[in-house]
Amino acid sequence: MSNIVAIVGRPNVGKSTLFNRLIQRREAIVDAVSGVTRDRHYGKADWNGKEFSLIDTGGYVMGSDDIFEQEIDKQVELAIEEADAIIFVVDVETGVTGMDEDVAQLLRQTDKPVLLAVNKVDNAQREADAVEFYSLGLGAYFTISGINGSGTGELLDALVEVLPEKEEKEEEELPRFAVVGRPNAGKSSFINALIGEERYIVTDIAGTTRDSSDTRYNRFGFEFSLVDTAGIRRKARVKEDLEFYSVMRSVRAIEYSDVCLLLIDATRGFEGQDQNIFWLAERNKKGIVILVNKWDLVEKDTSTTKEFEKQIRKTIEPFTDVPIIFISALTKQRIFKAIETAVEVYQNRSKRIPTSKLNEVMLPVIEHTPPPSNKGKYIKVKFCTQLPTAMPQFVFFANLPQYIKDPYRRFVENKLRENFGFHGVPIDIYFRKK
């Protein structure tokens, strides 16, 4: 299980640019206009062999300065509560502002590791200007440029040093199925329907569910832990940013799980936050089952289910080999089918293919459709094997692996799925020098 690192700071200091730099991909929209980061962004990062989940805490509300400050304070408080470490981003161009001082005051009260990153430092003059940030009382700072990457290596070196060690999941523990999704999708109602008791309080107020809680469950002769981000919201937190909190909790649940049951609200569709949680589970290499809840509330004709499923699969390309089940926690429609499917996905995730069988099936497929030649050089794959890891990972040995591109990698993945299953499970494929 990896740590959670939150990036905090006032608007327009370059949090999203730094986020993109650290996860080495452009997922967050970066723009010079304050307020463009409405949705939060979540990604996996790796530095010096240490993995962690990264959260960009954008999503502040457009409005008066007072609303800005309130929203930023909420997110910083949540980050302090939920994250294992915090990167506080400030802007050397504007210097220390009142809002920076407010955030720093909150951060000085925590015992969580806080790294102060002075952004947009790309010349000697700005390096000198950064000295004023000592006044925030957070100790040493790191001068960085999110745009060109300077200083981010030193920041990451320091980050992985302060991240707490996480205990590895013991092998004898039960398989864990995490019920995740945006607020008010029906997660608690789903678990209540499964266990046949009102174990979790269910209301129509988004965000009632608070803390992660496990239910030991046995179905189809298979015992496992069912994990819901459950509990009762404290009254003092009624005005907090529930959407942000929900995702922070989902990150935790996903990190601990083997299979994620992603509940979406059929009356709202497969929205941006649902997609964020889906890709977070995929990046963590967890098994995934998508449950379209409240299907009883949707007006249907003969093609409604097919069209709804088609839209979801289009959105999650290229990883489309995912079970999608239409359920109703209220009427208990197909809720046991959901669990049966989750068990199958768990078994797919732990599936082992004998090396002899893998080569017997895959080498003729590759010989019939070899990788495209590159500058007159022909690529030959001679051997393949499954790696001894918790999730399906395969390595193919070739004479020129550096010339194999992503489209061919997807072709091989599709053939593996076609011949061996792995429905609902992300697959990693590596090509290595023979």
Q: Point out the annotated binding site for GTP.
A: 9-16, 56-60, 119-122, 181-188, 228-232, 293-296
Most distant CA pair in the chain, distance: 69
Residue-wise DSSP of 9-70 = -STTSSHHHHHHHHHTS--S---SSTT---S-EEEEEEETTEEEEEEE---PPSS-HHHHHH
Other Cβ atoms closer than 10 A to 301: 7
List residues bridging with 225 in a β-sheet. Answer: 176, 216
- Distance in angstroms (rounded) separating the CA atoms of residues 44 and 46: 7
List residues bridging with 394 in a β-sheet. Answer: 386, 429
- Distance in angstroms (rounded) separating the CA atoms of residues 16 and 40: 9
- Going by C-beta distance under 8 Å and a sequence separation of 6 or more, which residues neighbour residue 266? 292, 293, 294, 295, 297, 298, 308, 326
Chain centroid to CA 17: 18
Binding residues, as ranges, are 9-16, 56-60, 119-122, 181-188, 228-232, 293-296
The torsion angles phi and psi of 130, rounded to 5 degrees, stand at -65, -15
**3-state helix/strand/coil string of 53-75:** EEEECCCCCCCCHHHHHHHHHHH
Q: How many residues does the chain have?
A: 434
Answer for the pair 371, 407: CB distance below 8 angstroms, yes or no.
no
Find out whether the peptide bond into 318 is cis, omega within 30 degrees of 0. Answer: yes
Torsion of CA 38, 247, 158, 144, to 10 degrees: -10
- Distance in angstroms (rounded) separating the CA atoms of residues 92 and 114: 18
- Distance in angstroms (rounded) separating the CA atoms of residues 356 and 353: 8
Among the listed residues 152, 129, 163, the one whose alpha carbon sits nearest the alpha carbon of residue 49: 163
- Going by C-beta distance under 8 Å and a sequence separation of 6 or more, which residues neighbour residue 196? none
